Chains A and B, each alone.
Chain A
């Protein structure tokens, strides 16, 4: 009575083979590092070696002077360029119109975020170069 019946409807009750697998098992996948567009740059993150602290200044001069380095950006640069906080999902309202219970949102790209190191290995600056 409960014996499995052969599915008669397309897409129902059958194992589905993923269409991406044949390429992936033959090394024909295309991951970001597999692409080499003309003029591509390589990005490196410089991370904090301190667990906590306030960034007073970052000297990017030595990095910029290295051959092939195109640009170095720090949090202060992003602030100065007017990059806005990452938009977060709007809070739902309760049936009575009150805001839902939620922890305070901490949108990251605030002055506090860019000028404070809150944990070890946090990104402090980003460098772009023509070679690794």
Chain B
């Protein structure tokens, strides 16, 4: 089996993987990071979204080997090392941006990517960015509110 070296949530990882292993299978299986969910297996729902070198990627549509040498951030790596929640995590709690919580990790990773690229998105831009993430509790209104609040907090912190 090919040897894979990558960085996951700030830690170097070295492991052997079958060539056909999906990135999400590596994360959930051998690495035990079950916060990244598989909702559909057909790259529609976005529950498996992670950051690869800062860009949001549906980890069910990427091979683990394609992440060689890259830095992967999952929902487990969103909070700071001291345990302080990321502003996006705080905002999802404060705005009731989650109900069952299954789509939430993907939503938050997509939102984090959006706010890095566009720190002051409009509601339309937030909705557009979250197009590839499905919520079956239909909490979209509060999810958009949460991303908007996270943007406000992050801009205030950065200012």
Contact = CB atoms under 8 A, between A and B. Distances in A.
Interface residues of B, number: 23
A24 B101 CA distance: 6
Interface string B83-103: 001000100110010100110
Contact of B108 (A25, A31, A33): A25
Interface residues of A, number: 14
B73 to A, nearest CB: 11
B89 to A, nearest CB: 4
B93 A31 contact: no
B33 A27 contact: yes
A20 B101 contact: yes
Interface string B109-149: 00000000000000000000000000000000000000000
Contacts, number: 53
A27 B76 contact: yes
Contacts of A130: none
A25 B78 CA distance: 9
Interface in B31-49: 33-38
Contacts of B28: 34
27 contacts: A18-B96, A20-B101, A21-B92, A21-B98, A21-B101, A22-B85, A22-B93, A24-B104, A25-B75, A25-B78, A25-B89, A25-B101, A25-B108, A26-B79, A26-B85, A26-B89, A27-B33, A27-B34, A27-B36, A27-B75, A27-B76, A28-B76, A29-B102, A31-B34, A31-B37, A33-B37, A34-B28
Interface of B: 28, 33-38, 74-76, 78-79, 85, 89, 92-93, 96, 98, 101-102, 104-105, 108
